[in-house]
Amino acid sequence: MLHGRVALVTGASRGIGAAVARALGAHGAAVAVNYLRDAASAERVVAGIESSGGRARAFRADVTDPAAVQRMAAEVDDRFGPANVVVNNALRSYAFDPLARRTAWETTWSDYRDQLEGSLGGAVNVCRTMLPGMQARGDGRIVNVVTDLVERPSVPYHDYTTAKAALLGFSRNLAAELGPFGITVNCVAPGLVHPTDSSRTATDEQRDALEEATPLRRLATPDDVAGAVLFFASEWAAFVTGACLFVDGGLVMH
């Protein structure tokens, strides 16, 4: 399905990013597994892709650093060729703990800025670096990972959700401008994804309540999110851009 594609997945050493990288690799893409600190986990993702006959390599870069992103893009190009599928999944570390979260009156501008720099700033840096090549080739798929909290703030994580809402707005503006170049830009919006490091602090009561409220009566898994990314990266979604697909079992319905 994705043979001949080169995919860059940011924040791909674990959780959603790792599942997305494995899925893209399983369907034929050469996968650049971006990570920041956990080299061992990134190499395990690479090894898993290669053991199934795919091609992958780990690339360390802080996506909030434009120079580091430029270096990573050059390394990916040298290894696999230019990336034509980009999945922006990296974010600032965040604990989804409904009991320890900051309220609106406790959340500072610094908190918002940190999350904006991670989710939006990282995506801006990656897209600005990759877009000239995509424009020149007249082809590209960009998929940005947001959250269903932008539509249904079941727990008001103010700084995190605001940053993801900004990423959604950025994505739709990109989609409007890049369509004439043959580049699509879409978002995937998971609900609470379990198991991931970020969801470990969610209480049993919160998970139970979400499952009860979810029409499909379970939480999303990393593989559920990867399936949605695969769709947007494939030719099946060639005429879809500016969309946001909620992967939350029906909690958000449009």
Residues labelled catalytic: 160
Tokens read off for 116: 């904006």
Please tell me the distance from the alpha carbon of residue 79 to that of residue 57, in angstroms, as a whole number.
Answer: 8
Please tell me the distance from the alpha carbon of residue 74 to that of residue 91, in angstroms, as a whole number.
Answer: 22
Helix (H) or strand (E) holding 196: none
Q: Which amino acid is at 35?
A: Y
Please tell me the distance from the alpha carbon of residue 99 to that of residue 88, in angstroms, as a whole number.
Answer: 28
Between the alpha carbon of residue 6 and those of residues 33, 127, 130, 212, the distances in Å are 11, 15, 12, 39
Tokens read off for 101: 């979260």
User: Could you tell me which residues come within 8 angstroms of residue 76 by beta carbon, excluding any fewer than 6 positions away?
Assistant: 6, 8, 32, 59, 82, 83
Could you write out the DSSP letters of every residue in 6-34? Answer: EEEESS-SSHHHHHHHHHHHHTT-EEEEE
Rg (CA), the chain: 17
Question: What is the DSSP secondary structure assignment for residue 136, as one 8-state letter?
Answer: H
Whether the Cβ atoms of residue 69 and residue 121 lie closer than 8 Å to each other? no
Q: Name residue 141's beta-bridge partners.
A: 85, 184
